[in-house]
Structure 1
Amino acid sequence: MAGVLDALASYVSNMLTEMAIEEVAMLIGVSSGIDDLSVKLRDLKNVLADADKRNITDESVREWVEELKRAMYHATDILDLCQLRVMEQGPSKDMGCLNPLLFCMRNPLHAHEIGSHIKALNQKLDEISKRGGSFNFIKLEAYQNRKTTNPPPVNRKTNPLLERSSVVGEKIEDDTRALVHMLMMESGDKSDSIMVFAIVGVGGIGKTTLSKKVFNDEAIQDKFTTKIWLSVTQEFSEVELLQTAITSANGNLPGPGGGSQDKALLVPALASAIRDKKIFLVLDDMWGTNEWTNLLKAPFSHSAPGS
């Protein structure tokens, strides 16, 4: 649960930053509602560690945690609704790799709809926070202040290998078929060289597993010349990302012995490696659009139409 809260809070915070950068105009009250949501999520995360420990023996705390879980399901429903509104628009060159929530905030009609859901969620989180105050939870800072050393970084890198025996459920099969079907359709806009789809949501809901199932689908393997899986962790290196992409596309790494660290050489090398090939690219564990917009979009624009 702490991971879900942390992921959702980070997602909302990143989205607020993107809105500020792009100066997105929104209806009065919607922007403040999203700001409030970000603050509430982080405040709740600060007491969740203690709540998780106490809900094992305290029935009242257990009920409080369950109520918070239901609120998190509501939050993911809002993100799903944003994704639905994006999908209803169909593939669009103008939309690019736009954050679905950001897309809805740009549209006054969608902004009002999503804003109403966010307002209701904020009211629910207010009620949950007030109830939580009666338990006198110990805040996360109290534990962190006792730390004298930082834990070693966790390796979050993913790979496209799928353990078939561990993937069950009708929902993920339906989602896989639906996404593969959309990927197999040709865009009506022939000037649009590449199609971009986003799988969004909080941590732990199965985004990586769904991506793996699509990546390994037979229809995808038959349609695309080259498949590339890039794990974009929060500690990712642009140089390493470019090198991995070049190697995955069977390209030649620049520099003596292929060891160049110069992006000015790596970007053209990637463009050359994928030129006129129909590419299926997965960017897993992305937290924003900068990796695509500022680093990968230019070289991948040299891939074949339908990528």
Structure 2
Amino acid sequence: MALEMVAGAFLSASLQVLFDRLARPEVVDFLLRRKEFNHVLLKKLKIQLISVNALLNDAEEKQITDPTVKEWLEELEDAAYYADDLLDEIATDALLDKLEADESSGSGTRGKVSKNSKKNVSGIEKRMKEILEMVEFIANQKDLLELKVKESVASPRQPTTSLVHVSGYGRDEDKVKVLKMLREEHDDSSNLHVIAIVGMGGIGKTTLAQLLYNDDRVEKHFDHKSWVYISERFDISMATKIVLTAVTDDYPASQSSCYDNKDLDWLQNKLKKVLTGKKILLVLDNMWNGIWEHMSPPFKHVARGSRILITTRHDDVTKMMGTTSTPYHLGS
């Protein structure tokens, strides 16, 4: 039951990522500049996704006793993946357009649509129509399945801290392996590597992360370390503010109050300034959504050897995070 509820929450997060991508300036601009593209499709897709998203809370509860609702959620998840793939391709085409325009700026052809992207427009429209039909079909099943809009319920899970509350954990081998991943050197050019501890709820992911966080060898290896619990109600501004407060805990206490009422641009630029040149360890416990994509820019300026350690129940989260090491699956 718990795993099914988390799966529903993860789907809700996936749809939120889709909403963000549908509103990206590069995606919108790419499609608006193509007169041959049916622009109504984009608006219709967003409206249909909003409609099914409003039904998720009710579907999450009913899937436990109704297998047809569970199948409905699985079909919606498939549609979300197809839409995500398409939006990724559009973003890539938009980038190629920009690069080609930059190369052609000297010849006075800047602003024109690239030949390559012209070829792709008909394919994009066809695939978007197919996805829209899938989502419309799924949305139209709500009456048959008696799905209704319900208010979301806060997660019953309590926030975690970096303090260890157990003795005799019994996972010394797991600790040694992940500790090695935290400290090992990499030959690539990236300063920051993301490591994931993956496993079902209650198996000990958080405890393992706490033990690693408090290990003396970890303490000596990093300039700074911070622990952040990711709740289901996180948004990007809240997440950035909490991380910023965490990484500036050695500053005067009064300084953190100045983060109130600041917009996301100010918060992320401040975080970038604080992180630049520091070798950091940031633990993100209970990572379940796609927030990292928007949260990550300030972390590109950390010192070499920095690590993000996440705990999560889903391999899909590790893909969204762009983990640079094979996820560490914690067995029973």
Normalised by the size of structure 2, how large is the TM-score? 0.47
Mean alpha-carbon deviation: is it higher for 276-285 or for 151-160? 151-160
Pair 1:186-2:196 in alignment: no
Match of 1:129 in 2: 139
Picking from 254, 262, 269, the partner of 2:258 is 262
Contact 2:27 2:91 in 1 (8 A): no
Gaps of 5+ in 1: 83-100, 145-149, 165-172
Matches within 5 A, 1:34-45: 36-45=44-53
Contact 1:14 1:288 in 2 (8 A): no
Match of 2:304 in 1: 305
Matches within 5 A, 1:7-156: 7-17=13-23, 19-20=24-25, 25=30, 36-48=44-56, 62-74=66-78, 104-108=89-93, 121-135=131-145, 137=146, 139-140=148-149
Secondary structure of residue in 2 paired with 1:43: helix
Picking from 227, 230, 247, the partner of 2:228 is 230
Gaps of 5+ in 2: 97-116, 167-173, 307-332
**Separation in 2 of the partners of 1:212 and 1:31?**
49
| Compared CA separation, residues 23 and 246, structure 1 to 2 (3 A) | same
Match of 1:89 in 2: none
Contact 2:27 2:90 in 1 (8 A): no
**Separation in 1 of the partners of 2:205 and 2:38?**
31
Contact 1:24 1:105 in 2 (8 A): no
Per-residue CA deviations over 1:177-199 (Å, capped at 9, x if unaligned) read: 89x8699453544xx6x336598
Match of 1:280 in 2: 281
**Separation in 1 of the partners of 2:187 and 2:38?**
33
**Number of corresponding residues:** 244
Q: CA deviation at 1:63?
A: 4.2
Q: CA deviation at 1:65?
A: 0.8
| Compared CA separation, residues 242 and 156, structure 1 to 2 (3 A) | farther
Q: CA deviation at 1:107?
A: 1.9
Per-residue CA deviations over 1:228-267 (Å, capped at 9, x if unaligned) read: 23346227276554231122xxx3x13xxx3223359x99
Contact 1:51 1:65 in 2 (8 A): yes
| Compared CA separation, residues 119 and 47, structure 1 to 2 (3 A) | same
| Compared CA separation, residues 162 and 44, structure 1 to 2 (3 A) | farther
Q: CA deviation at 1:128?
A: 2.8
Secondary structure of residue in 2 paired with 1:15: helix
Contact 1:278 1:304 in 2 (8 A): yes
Aligned Cα RMSD in Å? 5.9
**Separation in 1 of the partners of 2:211 and 2:126?**
39
Match of 1:242 in 2: 244
Greater strand content: 2
Contact 2:63 2:70 in 1 (8 A): no
Contact 2:183 2:221 in 1 (8 A): no
Per-residue CA deviations over 1:150-190 (Å, capped at 9, x if unaligned) read: 999988855467999xxxxxxxx9xxx89x8699453544x
**Separation in 1 of the partners of 2:82 and 2:54?**
23
Per-residue CA deviations over 1:106-148 (Å, capped at 9, x if unaligned) read: 223999799987765544333333333445x3632xx66xxxx
Normalised by the size of structure 1, how large is the TM-score? 0.50
User: Share of identical aligned residues, percent?
Assistant: 17
